[in-house]
Chains A and B, each alone.
Chain A
């Protein structure tokens, strides 16, 4: 048994760390209810300006349209990414040999050059391929990421090989094993990957802008960034927009966190 003082110390640590982490969101929520000048002056108590900030935000930008766009693109990217990368990660690990391990290392290189340097050649290529102003041009480069592939590869390492053998004896095909055995067992990995991929897709900024700079394809990060571009920034309204931009990821995390942190181990046994 853990002794009581140790238990108290543990809770104290977690509470302090949580408060430290959650503080900015609270600050943001408070700032969203205040007038810009009060935000600048560092007012820390909730104000009465929320509705005005909302009205100003709606008047200046197409909030719900941008929200819809962000959801649409993020969900498409997340689903495609999860399918493509989990297949690859599984392939790399379960059927591993020298060549595949080598290829994995090479694939990792793909993330090691700053995007600034690859963006311009990528843009040129997309233009030649006729992908400018298309959803495909926006989505294609972000589907397959070394990070997700490696995440699934590393997780697949703990997937018991005897399950695969047993399934093969039962006559299941390789793809069926992946769908029926691997997918349900690795629920926690999928949930974690989904959260992170959704978040990255949601926050993706520069590339969508490069591929199609049009009012009708505006996403939430673009909307937020537009609000800070002028000579005078309305901080109250900005914080409200930022809050709208942050909440979807937080909600998704909150819904999924039990899945990846309290997954029932041995579900397939």
Chain B
């Protein structure tokens, strides 16, 4: 027993010393490398070594951009492809992508901005649209103003561009599309005697009739949502061009006719078996339509990837627009959920290079967007991209429909939404209100409570 313990200890100690040895020699090696070929690591060098190395490197023409984003099959792939495109004309420029989940990007930004120590930030980072206003306004020194950088922002859909625009200035280059699509299982619809056309350009009250009917006949719901999450409610709200905040940034949660209508519609869907409530976790939500009792999904177009994971359901899904609210001015069948934009940080030592890179790829190359579309499903928000032929190609999975063209079309019709700075606070307060209303609370009282909660947080 004793021997075994000592043996283990010895092994650990030995491997530690070996590793420590390796470690230091490795470090030395990387240091050398950094001094010679890799010296172009602009921010690297600035963070650790003296600035001279950077200048030397710049003279040699080697340049590097560091980027933070988080999805290998989606935005990382897009960024790496963009880098390849750019390298063709600028062989001296390399792009290093550091895979960083969104849940980490926010703490890292907060650390940097709170302490004023920006040196660790990358040149470019991907920002969730819903958090853009909050970060740009709370940390005015964080992002580079791109308004006069030569990028033609008019080529992006107005609804999308709004997220990254603060006080009329552009701080972000819109990237992926969050246009809302409604997807339904055509085989289930057929069983109940409906077609996809019956669900196109309809109102929520019509949807409720059909969905309850389908549920009664087949046991399948045409829609699911996570308990306590309000993605759907936010989508419904935006579809009527309404927000939780007014232009001055004041919260409008109580006395908001559109929001009240949305909440009533939502509750009516639940009460009439037209909407399935799953657990609050994402995997349970996915499961509901991959294998559970949901035969329909309404969400941002990026949800297509998760639907397509169920390969055995190929050809059984079809895409159309979402239902619209009844009796509300400005109600449409279009909305947005999710999506993100690229931002250039103030730690970027070569803003010209960064903007030129973005300008010639994400806002300048139809071919680039055409290349990333098929394997990533990253649908552009840059209008000219939709001209590419691939956008018109039919999707086998979605019943031979030209889905990408459809999504781009939807996104141009989407009303814009004012997330405000306090978006996440308001979301949480409204979600709490919805749960309380479902448990028998009075709708006006609960929304008034939510309003009070948010106002208290805005102090």
- Indicate if A touches B (C-beta under 8 A): yes
Q: How far apart are the CA atoms of A123 and B13 in the complex, in Å? A: 30
In the complex, chain B residues 187-217 whose Cβ is within 8 Å of any chain A Cβ: none
Does the CB pair B286–A40 fall under 8 Å? yes
Q: Say yes or no: is B293 at the interface (Cβ < 8 Å to chain A).
A: no
User: In the complex the two chains form, is A123's CB within 8 Å of B115's CB?
Assistant: yes
- Complex CA gap A76/B309 in Å reads 42
Chain B nearest CB: distance from A135 CB in Å? 7
Task: Check if A12 is an interface residue, CB within 8 A of chain B.
Answer: no
In the complex, B311 has a CB within 8 A of chain A:
yes
Residue A91 is within 8 A (CB to CB) of chain B in the complex: no
Neighbour of B115 across the interface among A79, A120, A213, A259, CB < 8 A: A120
Supposing A133-B120, A230-B72, A232-B73 touch, asked if A191 and B5 sit within 8 A by C-beta, the answer is yes
* Cβ-defined contact, A259 with B1, below 8 A: yes
Contacts A40-B291, A76-B20, A226-B101 known; A256 to B72 CB distance under 8 Å? no
Residues A231 and B302 in contact, CB atoms below 8 Å apart:
yes
Are A229 and B102 touching (Cβ within 8 A)? yes
- In the assembled complex, the CB of B74 is this many whole angstroms from the nearest CB of chain A, namely 6
Q: Is the CB of B117 within 8 A of A228?
A: no
Q: Which residue of B lies closest to A119 (CB)?
A: B111
Any B CB within 8 A of the CB of A216: yes
- Structural contact, A75 and B111, CB atoms closer than 8 A: no
Q: Determine if B110 and A76 form an interchain contact, defined as CB atoms under 8 angstroms apart.
A: no
Write the nearest CB–CB distance from A66 to chain B, whole angstroms: 11
Contact of B1 with A231 in the complex, beta carbons under 8 Å: no
Q: Cβ of A267 and Cβ of B2 under 8 Å apart?
A: yes
A187 partner residues in chain B, CB cutoff 8 A: 2, 5
A123 cross-chain contacts in B, Cβ below 8 A: 111, 115, 117
Q: Which listed residue (A75, A132, A133, A231) contacts B71, Cβ 8 A?
A: A231
Query: In the complex, what residues of B have CB within 8 A of residue A79's CB?
Result: 12-13, 16
Residue of A nearest to B311 (CB): A37
Known A-B contacts A36-B309, A133-B120, A230-B70; the reply to A255 vs B108 at CB < 8 A is no
Select which of A215, A259, A263 is within 8 A of B99 by beta carbon. Answer: A215
Residue B19 is within 8 A (CB to CB) of chain A in the complex? yes
Q: How far is the CA of A240 from the CA of B185 in the complex (A)?
A: 32
Contacts of A263 in B (CB 8 A): 1
Q: Determine whether B305 belongs to the interface, using a CB cutoff of 8 Å to chain A.
A: yes
CB distance B73 to A216 under 8 Å? no
Verify B98–A127 contact, CB threshold 8 A.
Answer: no
Residue on B nearest A126 in the bound complex, by CB? B117
Q: Is B23 an interface residue (CB 8 A)?
A: yes
For the A-B complex, the count of residue pairs with Cβ-Cβ distances under 8 Å equals 136
A6 within 8 A of B: no
The reply to whether the CB of B310 lies closer than 8 angstroms to some CB of chain A is yes
Counting contact residues on chain B (CB < 8 A from A), the size range is 35 or more
Residues of chain B in range 213-242 having any CB-CB distance to chain A below 8 Å: none
Give the chain B neighbours of A41 by CB distance below 8 A.
287, 290-291
A225 at the interface (CB under 8 A from B): yes
Q: Are the C-beta atoms of A37 and B23 separated by less than 8 Å?
A: no
Q: A40-B287, A214-B98 are in contact. Are A135 and B23 (CB under 8 A)?
A: yes
Nearest residue, chain A, Cβ from B101: A229
Which one of A72, A213, A229, A264 contacts B108 once the chains associate, using CB atoms below 8 Å? Answer: A213
B287 / chain A contacts, CB cutoff of 8 Å: 40-42
Tell me whether chain B's interface is mostly helix, strand or loop, or mixed: helix
- B19 and A76 form a contact (CB under 8 A): yes
Question: In the bound complex, how far is the Cα of B44 from the Cα of A216, in angstroms?
Answer: 13
The smallest beta-carbon distance between B75 and chain A, in angstroms, is 8
A64 to B19, CA, bound (A): 15
Given A206-B107, A262-B1, residue A216 in contact with residue B71 (CB < 8 A): no
Interface of chain A residues 223 through 265 with chain B (CB within 8 A): 225-226, 228-233, 235, 255-256, 258-259, 262-264
The minimal Cβ–Cβ distance linking A9 to chain B, given in whole angstroms, is: 29
CB of A210 within 8 A of CB of B107, answer yes
A230 to B306, CA, bound (A): 11
Least CB distance from A37 to B in Å reads 5
**Which chain A residues border B73 with CB–CB below 8 Å?**
230, 232
A60 within 8 A of B: yes
**Residues 73-131 (chain A) with a chain B CB within 8 angstroms:** 75-76, 78-79, 119-121, 123-124, 127
Q: Which of B99-118 contact A (CB under 8 A)?
A: 99-104, 107-108, 110-111, 114-115, 117
Complex contacts, B70 vs chain A, CB 8 Å: 226, 229-230
* Residue in chain A with minimal CB distance to B104: A209
- Which partner residue on chain A sits nearest B30 by CB separation? A216
The answer, yes or no, to whether B15 is at the interface (CB within 8 Å) is yes
Q: What is the minimal beta-carbon distance from A242 to any residue of chain B, in angstroms?
A: 14
Contacts of A264 in B (CB 8 A): 1-2
Bitwise, B8-48 to A at CB < 8 A (1) or not (0) is: 11001101100110110001001000000000000000011
Contact partners of A135 in chain B: CB under 8 A: 23, 27
Instruction: Give complex CA distance A78, B20 in Å.
Output: 13
Taking the closest CB of chain B, its distance from the CB of A255, in whole angstroms, is 5
Q: Does A178 contact B (CB under 8 A)?
A: no
A72, A212, A226, A232: the one within 8 Å of B306 (CB): A232
B319 nearest CB across to chain A (Å): 17
20 contacts between A and B (CB under 8 A): A37-B291, A37-B311, A40-B287, A40-B309, A72-B19, A72-B23, A79-B13, A120-B110, A127-B115, A132-B47, A191-B5, A194-B12, A225-B104, A226-B70, A226-B72, A226-B99, A229-B102, A231-B306, A232-B74, A258-B1
Residues of A within 8 A of B (CB): 36-37, 40-42, 60-61, 71-72, 75-76, 78-79, 119-121, 123-124, 127, 132-133, 135, 187, 190-191, 194, 206, 209-210, 212-216, 218, 225-226, 228-233, 235, 255-256, 258-259, 262-264, 267
Extra contacts, 18 of them, besides A79-B16, A191-B5, A210-B111 (Cβ < 8 A), are A37-B310, A40-B283, A41-B287, A75-B16, A76-B20, A120-B110, A124-B114, A127-B115, A135-B27, A187-B2, A213-B108, A216-B30, A226-B70, A229-B103, A231-B302, A231-B305, A232-B306, A259-B1
A-B complex: 9 closest residue pairs judged by Cβ atoms: A230-B71, A229-B101, A124-B115, A259-B5, A127-B117, A232-B305, A41-B291, A229-B70, A75-B16
Q: State the B residues within 8 Å of A (CB).
A: 1-2, 4-5, 8-9, 12-13, 15-16, 19-20, 22-23, 27, 30, 47-48, 68, 70-74, 96, 98-104, 107-108, 110-111, 114-115, 117, 119-120, 283, 286-287, 290-291, 302-303, 305-306, 309-311, 338
